[in-house]
Structure 1
């Protein structure tokens, strides 16, 4: 049958249309493939998501459980490993069971202060219960170890950092936690250790002629940024506890006078250490945890210092400028590096937790702008990846001296047994809970699997329709 020219044209047009649709479909498929192949949708190294309060509580509970399982908190005979029952006479083999929760160490003090804070934030009493449990264990057995020390020497002291107190590391952080524990329990047996610590910090610890707390190591007359945390939280809590402003005065003085030697305005960061010999030409090493100690201590002092207190404005400037610098130095993963300005050093857990806490705290207290919210959020998400299923905190740099060469800082080890990361992680989680529950802020979530979406923290008072 013969087809008319008109029908041939229609048929030809349909054929062309079908061909066009096939081509368009194939191009769409190629376009869709290219859309992903070219990396237009970001793939984040650490989940770029908004944590929930429950997810944070779950992590914090894991860390608490790990801490609680770390030691039996017993006095044992170190030759047999068996628990001692007879304390009627000194025993040179008497020892405290090993493990984190039995240590008299500054890192343990940070954990106990964090437990006190989590009790306030969450109302979960399981955290704070660890505080009187540990301090009761200490004050009950300390007289026995003092007698042992008299007869057998330091190795039989149990907690030699108490019996032979000689540095801020021996008392400051634990002293702060002890004051907080006393404030809630009112156990009079804690007062002796509080007073011993106050006397040591105020009257016995070595100071420069202007009163700045210092050490004669590793160089003669050295300042360590770490010592801001080893002293200021204790002094701040003594100020609250006693009502004596001399403690507030000393706390403010320590930060401001330390900053005169250690804070580098051009970098808005603290050098790890300084010594008299090097003076104005001391080399600068911007170690992460030293800056973290500084920020955490400043936050604790600002929390209790009256708003019109002399020097408070200068403290706020240091706090704000450091956070501005740290926001720019944060790694794309959400972590910060062991040497903050050296992006080829490893990313480190303890300083990341410290900065996360300090930034979230600053927003919640109104000390810094809410726009820093995503910096804290991504910091927490990063820390979360370092919490092992059993609650151990991994990726924390080992104890680190005040050094004078990059090679040393570059090659520090990390471990779950470096306990400096546990307290800051607990603090960071507590403050992130408060940030997520902050009713003055609206959080606009980032949308997953889209080309361009981020988090925005909005201050409701700036938006009339959000009040």
Structure 2
């Protein structure tokens, strides 16, 4: 009788354990195809083997573009979290020609899309402590708040109006700015400890949020393009996540930025599709599933759960469902499909639905690597 009872109790315990595992708030246990380490190795190898600007490259490329920068940064974070020194060395060696034979590919930091390049040397410095990387990266961070000397006087006067408000002269109130600007400034703070970098990034973010965030927490592509375009919103989600991760608790703008982030995440929860992703136009179920914006949202959700900004019980299932859906779009070469091509704003609904769906575009490769870093981070 005792043996039978023990057997029953053992069975109950095992069932409860399996039930708990199945029902737990879990961003750790994955089916093999969704294992972050395995996916990370595949995607990062694809990047290491790719030439500069490999997706629709100019011939020859004129400068390094921001999708490559963002993918490079994701690869560096994967190298760090996986403690892969060999990968770090490869990513470092990929960069070294910019000081010599490929110097012409280093962009001038006169636009947000070019200024974000500084993120890579700053992260390389953080991981290698090579001052050569620090000097280059800080030039990009400082340039965002320094008017170019060769600008015409009328342009300087217009730029100065932004600086007088504590904003970068690169301010445009475009949604992707809040990744391109705040990333470089956050990284500059991380490597120098100087508060001016993170404080001005937070101020910039708050002004953008006050200016362009809608009541539902989402963002139009532009005032004259009133559509909730997926990847555009993804830049805001990722930018807020990166900034909040670096922002000291005593910054006076942190609580407002966190509240804006939570409003956005609540809206994304509402609009997540049955397949786990989000549409090319977030609030339009008839639009096609788009992976670059979806990956950025997934990164923001994972980061929020891991940092306690979001209720884990409520948001972990959303992030988990999205990650499993995303890896289903990655082929054996490590390329992700259904990535919206580069898209300028346009007040035309059909224009967004008709955008080309690319495979292997670094707009999509980058946030996949960000997700992996967030998943593996303790």
Same fold (TM over 0.5): yes
State the shift of 1:52 in Å: 5.1
Q: Are 2:121 and 1:193 aligned?
A: no
Match of 1:386 in 2: 329
8 Å CA contact 1:182–1:190 kept in 2: the answer is: yes
Partner of 1:320: 262
Aligned residue for 2:222? 273
Q: Partner residue of 2:277?
A: 335
Normalized per residue, the structure richer in strand is: 1
Shift of 1:357: 1.1
Q: Deviations for 1:47-90, whole angstroms, at most 9, x for unmatched residues?
A: xx9435983222221111211221299xxxxxxxxxxxxxxxxx
Alignment of 1:216-365 (within 5 A): 222-265=172-215, 267-274=216-223, 282=224, 284-365=226-307
1:67 equivalenced with 2:47 (yes/no): yes
- Find 2:112's aligned residue among 162, 165, 168: 168
Residues of 2 paired with 1:239 and 1:296: CA distance?
18
CA contact (8 A) 1:213 1:223 kept: no
**Within-5 A mapping of 1:372-451:** 372-434=315-377
Aligned partners of 2:71 and 2:362 also within 8 Å: no
Question: Which string of whole-angstrom CA distances, capped at 9 and with x for unpartnered residues, describes residues 116-139 of structure 1?
Answer: 322332223344334312221211
Structure with more helix by fraction? 2
Normalising by structure 2, we get a TM-score of 0.81
Task: Work out which of the residue numbers 98, 115, 119 in structure 2 matches 1:138.
Answer: 98
* Residues 80 and 88, structure 2, Cα contact 8 Å, conserved in 1: no
Q: Distance in 2 between matches of 1:140 and 1:255?
A: 36
Q: Which runs of 5+ in 2 are unaligned?
A: 1-28, 149-158
Distance change >3 Å, CA 72–CA 248, structure 1 → 2: closer
Aligned residue number for residue 36 of structure 2: 56
Calculate the aligned-residue CA RMSD, in Å: 2.6
Seen in structure 2, the aligned counterparts of structure 1 residues 54 and 334 have a Cα distance that, compared at 3 Å, is closer
> SS at the partner of 2:100?
helix
1:123, 1:233 → 2: CA distance?
A: 23
Runs (4+) off by over 6 Å: 95-98
Quick check: 1:113–1:180 contact (8 Å CA) kept in 2? yes
1:393 to 1:116, Cα distance in 2 relative to 1, 3 A: same
When normalised by structure 1's length, the TM-score is 0.66
Residue-by-residue CA offset, 1:294-343 (whole Å, 9 max, x unaligned): 11111111112112221100111011111111011011001100111111
1:423 and 1:228, CA in 2 relative to 1: closer, same or farther beyond 3 A? Answer: same
Q: Retained in 2: the 8 A contact 1:72–1:97?
A: no
Q: Relative contact order (alpha carbons < 8 A, sep ≥ 6): 1 or 2 greater? A: 2
Relative distance call for 1:130 and 1:294 in structure 2 (3 A) is farther
Give distance in 2, aligned partners of 1:302 and 1:53. 31
Q: 1:52 to 1:310 in 2, by over 3 A?
A: farther
Query: How many residue pairs get matched?
Result: 333
Distance 1:207 1:359 in 2: 37
